Amino acid sequence: MTSTSPPLPDRVDRTTLGKLAKLITDVFAPGILVVVILLAVGWHSTGTLVGAGWGLLAAFFCGVVPYAFIIAGVRLGHWTDRHLKIRRQRFVPLTVTMASVVVGILCLALLGGPREVFALVIAMLAGLTVTLGVTKWWKISVHTAVSGGVAAILLLTYGLATAWGFPLVALIGWSRVRLRDHTPAQTVVGAVVGSLIAASVFTLVR
């Protein structure tokens, strides 16, 4: 799979649509979505605050630690921004994220965490592995990969009442294209790959 990544914007898009796209990209950043879905599945796994606590534990390793690492890297000048627009800057953060997720999996296994939360974290690791592999050649959208996976997990966990997640994925994809961070193909492939991997691994493991 070969493609040329879109150039970084020469200036900030200060139009109304540009500001909206930036807001959507920031609010539905992968790190935020990961924390939200882990809390939602954690709650569902037991129906109590205990389940949400397990989700919070997993979110620490899958969302908080990776996000903190990326922010620290931005401040130290190792990468340009927290959304990792430049493809070659993604490898270290994604590798560190995978390592942190593995630690989270070990903690859940050793402490006897809920099966649903464990399955979700395994699905996240699978998605990260594929994303890292594709990123070597092509700038697949992490935003739509994660949001696609979140939409699929919500549907499997809470049913058709959460089908609104998929239009939201499309909206996130639009924001990434509007900001010229991805091509339409990169966002579509990200969404498809993310949702398929998340749904299949989560279903198999839980």
Instruction: Express as a percent the part of the chain with pLDDT over 70.
Output: 94
Q: Which of 145, 118, 121 is nearest to 133 (CA)?
A: 145
Q: Residue 68 domain-assigned? A: yes
The backbone torsions φ and ψ at residue 77, rounded to the nearest 5 degrees and listed phi first, read 85, 15
pLDDT digits (tens, 9 = 90+) for 89-120: 888 998 999 999 999 999 999 999 999 999 99
Q: Residue 63 domain-assigned? A: yes
Better-scored residue on pLDDT, 192 or 46 = 192
Q: Can you tell me the mean pLDDT for 58-65?
A: 94
How many CB atoms are closer than 10 A to CB 197? 22
Tell me 160's DSSP state.
Answer: G
Q: Residue 11 domain-assigned? A: no
pLDDT at 42: 95
Q: Residue 99 domain-assigned? A: yes
Separation in Å, CA 94 to CA 34, 40, 67, 133, 172: 14, 24, 10, 10, 20
pLDDT at 45: 92
Query: Is pLDDT at 71 greater than 80 in this prediction?
Result: yes
Instruction: State the total domains in the chain.
Output: 1
Query: Is pLDDT at 2 greater than 50 in this prediction?
Result: no
Q: Residue 2 domain-assigned? A: no
Q: Residue 182 domain-assigned? A: yes
Identify the domain containing residue 193 by its residue range.
16-205
pLDDT at 11: 55
Q: Can you tell me the mean pLDDT for 66-77?
A: 91
Query: Is pLDDT at 7 greater than 70 in this prediction?
Result: no
Q: Residue 170 domain-assigned? A: yes
Q: What is the largest CA-CA distance in the chain?
A: 51
